[in-house]
Structure 1
Amino acid sequence: MHPTHTLEPIRLAPAGRSPMALALLQALRGVAARVLPPLIVIGVLALIWHVLGSRPGAALPGPLKVIEDTWELIVDPFYNNGGNDVGMGWQLLASLQRVAYGYSLAVIAGVSLGVLVGQSTWALRGLDPLFQVLRTVPPLAWLPISLAGFRDGHPSAIFVIFITSIWPIIINTSVGIRNIPEDYRNVARVIRLNGLEYFGKIMLPAAAPYIFSGLRIGVGLSWLAIIAAEMLIGGVGIGFFIWDAWNSSRISDIILALVYVGLVGFTLDRLVALVGHRITRGTSAS
């Protein structure tokens, strides 16, 4: 008997198009498939906003009015007139600095406690109920306690970020550690890895997808917490800028700030997702 062969159709490049041109066209189609849907949705929402904001007696300004009112803030985000009178860029950088401090501390403490709870049954039984209770406390409920303890707004805001973002990191890390396949542990015993080698070569790579899922949730909570905390502690920061704009009835400034807050939050999430994708070689959720 003769072997059976599957006949594949021969695909020829259309006349007048080189393989490079076809590859470029395919890449452009891929970009369009990703970019066009959100642009269309944003355009439709902006049109609806414009129609609603243009009505007589509308409570909120339309997009064109917002751009007109905040044009100076848009074109010069880094002006500095002293004190709290600084541009939107400085406000965002001040908030990001607080987030960097608080979130970094949460990552270190959260991963460490997550490994402890994931490895030790005694730690799980003793600490997990406490974690489950504390994680339900709203971020702003921690602010009076932190102000009483630190007696200063800056470390208090950092503490609120830390205590808000640490819980998903702890919980996801512990779940990842507990879900390490038993075969991995057996291999570690066979080749006699010490504690540090087991941690670096087995534990962290196996639990990395869970850890980075917790890190993404944590960075989002960090950004939410700092905006809320800055509304109360004052000083330079995008949260205080929003609250000050409300007190001065600058609604357009608030809308512009909210756009920036959303874009920065999206960027932070994407950065953590990108790092997780690289480290886990695509096994983490993105």
Structure 2
Amino acid sequence: MDNTHSIAAPAQASAPPSMLRVRAGAAYSHFMNHVLPPLVVIGLLCAVWELLCSRPGAALPAPSQVVNETWELITQPFFDNGGNDVGLAWQILASLERVAYGYLLAVVAGVSLGVLVGQSTWALRGLDPLFQVLRTVPPLAWLPISLAGFQDSNPSAIFVIFITAIWPIIINTSVGIRNIPEDYRNVARVIRLNGVEYFWKIMLPAAAPYIFSGLRIGVGLSWLAIIAAEMLIGGVGIGFFIWDAWNSSLVSDIILALVYVGIVGFLLDRMVAWVGKRVTRGTSPA
């Protein structure tokens, strides 16, 4: 009995190192295939940028100059001197708050209208032409009318986000509803699902891949719209920060803000994609 335990013990002890090697190999493979290529490309682009903009008379600052001139903004993102004089973290959070309100409203209204248009032929014929016309209006064209209606810059910016994000959500949701397989509908009739049960158990799961494709497009458009809107409405926000930096001829500040804008937009897209993958169990075309 003792010999059996003495023989089994090394086998058990050898399992953790083997598992560690597997995990290390997977991490190395992920780094080489997914992390290293973009790092190399970004490094090469920065090197070319440095060479082109380090020459005398260059119109744009080199990366080294950008970092040097914006070091305080990079290292102190949460400073608050009152008014609009706050760190970039507060500027981005203010923009994200507006995006959250407008985007969530667009999700609720967009999915609801998409289901209506997808389910009802009459609604499709009556509303789809209107949607197709309104979605071609540029986001900033809505800002003057929203300012006139709300008499306040903050709800006006939220409305611009809402009206920008809602169209891809409506269109993708309605397409998903119309593409529900007829077999699913027949099963719902056979087991006699009521309207609420059909909505939650058949309609939403079947259309979820299309819905989340629209949600990804919508969140990207929301982030684009708020940056442009904030340049006009003023106040705290990354869009106004960029415009204010331009008026003060602080080109390095603009470049740093654009980097942050791109990173935040990327993270928003990945976040919605991650949720969509979990909800649709990997079947989403996004």
TM-score (norm 2): 0.93
CA distance in 1, matches of 2:201, 2:20: 44
Structure 1 position 19 matched with structure 2 position 18 = yes
CA distance in 2, matches of 1:31, 1:204: 36
Partner of 2:71: 71
CA distance in 2, matches of 1:152, 1:21: 58
Partner of 2:231: 231
Partner of 1:267: 267
Cα deviations by residue, 1:87-121 (Å, 9 ceiling, x for unpaired): 00000000000000000000000000000000000
The CA deviation at 1:53 is 1.1
Percent identical among aligned pairs is 80
The CA deviation at 1:29 is 1.8
CA distance in 2, matches of 1:78, 1:151: 30
Partner of 1:247: 247
The CA deviation at 1:26 is 2.2
The CA deviation at 1:20 is 2.8
The CA deviation at 1:285 is 2.8
CA distance in 2, matches of 1:139, 1:264: 20
Partner of 2:197: 197
CA distance in 2, matches of 1:90, 1:25: 38
CA distance in 1, matches of 2:19, 2:180: 45
Cα deviations by residue, 1:162-212 (Å, 9 ceiling, x for unpaired): 000000000000000000000000000000000000000000000000000
The CA deviation at 1:33 is 1.2
Moved over 6 A (4+): none
CA distance in 2, matches of 1:92, 1:21: 39
Residues 141-180 of structure 1 mapped to structure 2, 5 A cutoff: 141-180=141-180
CA distance in 1, matches of 2:180, 2:159: 32
Bigger Cα displacement from structure 2, 134-143 vs 30-39: 30-39
Q: Give, as a single letter, the amino acid of the residue that structure 1 aligns with 2:250.
A: R
Unaligned runs of 5+ in 2: 1-16
SS in 2 for 1:42: helix
The CA deviation at 1:21 is 4.8
Q: Give, as a single letter, the amino acid of the residue that structure 1 aligns with 2:58.
A: A
Bigger Cα displacement from structure 2, 73-82 vs 30-39: 30-39
CA distance in 1, matches of 2:253, 2:75: 13
SS in 2 for 1:223: helix
Partner of 1:54: 54
CA distance in 2, matches of 1:269, 1:236: 23
Unaligned runs of 5+ in 1: 1-17
SS in 2 for 1:39: helix
Cα deviations by residue, 1:238-262 (Å, 9 ceiling, x for unpaired): 0000000000000000000000000
SS in 2 for 1:85: coil
Partner of 1:33: 33
CA distance in 1, matches of 2:222, 2:19: 45
Q: How many residues align?
A: 270
CA distance in 2, matches of 1:98, 1:22: 46
CA distance in 1, matches of 2:24, 2:259: 33
CA distance in 2, matches of 1:218, 1:76: 32
Higher helix share: 2
Partner of 2:108: 108
CA distance in 1, matches of 2:20, 2:105: 50
CA distance in 1, matches of 2:192, 2:124: 26
CA distance in 2, matches of 1:22, 1:73: 41
Superposed CA RMSD: 1.1
Cα deviations by residue, 1:107-136 (Å, 9 ceiling, x for unpaired): 000000000000000000000000000000
CA distance in 2, matches of 1:37, 1:85: 38
SS in 2 for 1:96: helix
Q: Give, as a single letter, the amino acid of the residue that structure 2 aligns with 1:172.
A: N
Structure 1 position 133 matched with structure 2 position 133 = yes
